[in-house]
Amino acid sequence: MSAGNKLKRSQIVYDEAGTLRQFQRIQAAFTPDLLRKNAGVGDPSTLPIFVVGMPRSGTTLIEQILASHPKVFGAGELMDLDHVVTGLRDASGAPTIFPEIVTEMTGDMLRQAGLRYLDRVSSAAPNMERIVDKMLMNFRFIGLIYLVLPNARIIHVRRDSIDTCFSCYSLLFTGTQSYAYDLAELGRYYCAYEGLMDHWRKILPHGFMLEVRYENVVDDLEGEARRIIDYCGLAWDEACLRFYGTQRPVLTASAAQVRRSIHRHSIGRWQPYGRMLQPLVEALGAQMNQRMDLEHIPARLS
């Protein structure tokens, strides 16, 4: 595993400083004053449900639970919001840079951005009340979603940080998760992601975003599923508990897992490899060392 990741890392270009700097720029642009000034100006549609989080955190399971509801369509990982963001223009029509452009957008510009997103996604399931967009990287745009689609639902899925990162490290992604092939880089990226999510929690109105822990879903599937469905403004349907029988395309690495009933196999999966994960643990922070007895964990990572 280590050798494979080292080889993959040598074949890609990853601008870590630029990536982490963008997270800082987003926090600087999205202030409480900006959100207060533009609250409610976006399109009022309740169609979108955004499921966000880190890869391998349980987001595919949450989407599958939602997509098992007869009034919900699971659209998978859509690039539509990213396209809307890259297509933003200033008042003169000139191309702009996110996130700084948001501080200059009028209410009408924000509303039009929401409409452009809806135009892109609504045709996928015209008879459904909700459409799930599971593009994980939309966590960068949560503040923008609040402004352009104030009645959208955002579900942030979290899993144990070491389990999440180890699962990323153990997988060869088909996408552009360039941060995932070096343990220290992976840990620093995770911390930056958590820092941005903390920012959203501080400035968003209470209840706008729903936090779901993967481990809680495993321990209490029905309780958590009901909480999710209620947050989305839908009536409960027992089909959500039989998510593993829902027939729909699932294109992520979790495709096989969501075809099975709930299980605990992925909880604590990192533990046999703890010593080799020390660069990750150090990057995540000293407090993580309290959860690992490295003297009693095997040192081999095959």
pLDDT single digits (tens) 203-248: 999 999 999 999 999 999 999 999 999 999 999 999 999 998 886 5
CA distance 146 to 153: 9
Question: Would you kindly state where each structural domain of the chain is located, as residue ranges?
Answer: 2-296
Residue 277 burial (10 A CB sphere; 0-12, 13-18, 19+)? buried
The architecture CATH gives domain 2-296: 3-Layer(aba) Sandwich (3.40)
pLDDT single digits (tens) 9-37: 999 999 999 999 999 999 999 999 999 99
Please name every residue paired with 132 in a beta bridge, in sequence order, or none if there are none: 49, 74
Tell whether the torsion through CA atoms of 27, 32, 38 and 43 is positive or negative: positive
CA distance 152 to 129: 12
Residue 6: partners with Cβ closer than 8 Å, 6 or more residues away: 181
pLDDT single digits (tens) 103-121: 999 999 999 999 999 999 9
The larger pLDDT score, comparing residue 238 to residue 270, is at 238
250 pLDDT above the threshold of 60:
no
pLDDT single digits (tens) 128-158: 999 999 999 999 999 999 999 999 999 999 9
